[in-house]
Structure 1
Amino acid sequence: MTVSTPALLFPAISLLLLAYTNRFLVLAQLIRQLKQMETEDDYPLVARQLRMLRQRIVLTKRMQATGVLSFFVCTVSMFALFLKWETFGMISFGGSLILLSLSLLFSLWEIVISTNAINVELEDFERKHRSRLT
């Protein structure tokens, strides 16, 4: 194993962290929009969304943290391989891959919750339009 092997992960992890940051910004924007919805008619929708938003925030924090740790451990792996510490370099590279996998699993979980949140919005939209048609 050479120093260039862990270096292959650098662009992938960097892009992944950028995508995670974008997800976080979207969450922050959604929370600000929900805060502006203060009418009695909107309260049931907001209440259903709050639980999912809290879960998404926790998952986003976890996926960012494990992604950053993966990046750090990958860097440690490269440094160890540079110093010719083959065994430590390979173990830390394996740890980096495990952390990256955990980060991706957190991301998948967050996507599932975000899809459920969109379904809540669609249900509310359909309910409002059904009442207008009848």
Structure 2
Amino acid sequence: MNLQIETPALLFSATSLILLAYTNRFLTIAQIVRSLKKNYDENHNKSILIEIKNLNLRLTLIRAMQLFGVLSLFLSVFAMLLLYLEWMLAGIYLFGASLLCLLISLGISFWEVSISVTALRVHLKDLLEETKNKA
């Protein structure tokens, strides 16, 4: 089995874009949490606490997504170094590990998006019920 040094380099652009998307998600949720915290301090509404708890879980998942994404990139670079040093078997295994980390990161990302969609549907359901009551 032979792996070229260019193969792990293919992950660079994809992983960089994924990490940028994860960072944007994190920043957006952090802004929402700050806003909800301010709203809670003023109103002490329990539903806000439930939303903050949901967002806290999502922040934890995003941190895990980022961790595995960065680990994937790190292992990919290290695999390239090993391939450059002509340690083929170690480079191949490390590249496989980087792919596994990327898969884990993407799986966690899907989980986080699923939580987000569920939360949005709850909000939409409330809106739809309110619309029906007014009609």
Identify whether the pair has TM-score above 0.5, normalized to the shorter chain.
Answer: yes
- The alignment covers a number of residue pairs equal to 132
1:33 deviates by 1.9
CA contact (8 A) 1:45 1:121 kept: no
1:96 deviates by 0.2
Match of 2:115 in 1: 113
Q: Which runs of 5+ in 2 are unaligned?
A: none
Q: Which runs of 5+ in 1 are unaligned?
A: none
Tell me which of 54, 57, 62 is aligned to 1:55.
57
1:38-78 deviation digits (Å, cap 9, x = unpaired): 365x8243133122112101100100000000000000000
Q: Which moved more, 1:9-18 or 1:47-56?
A: 47-56
TM-score (normalised: structure 2)? 0.88
Q: Counterpart amino acid of 1:7?
A: A
The answer on 1:2 being equivalent to 2:4 is: yes
SS at match of 1:84: coil
TM-score (normalised: structure 1)? 0.89
Shift >6 Å, 4+ stretches = none
**Partners of 2:45 and 2:132 in 1: CA distance:** 19
Identity of aligned residues (%): 41
SS at match of 1:2: coil
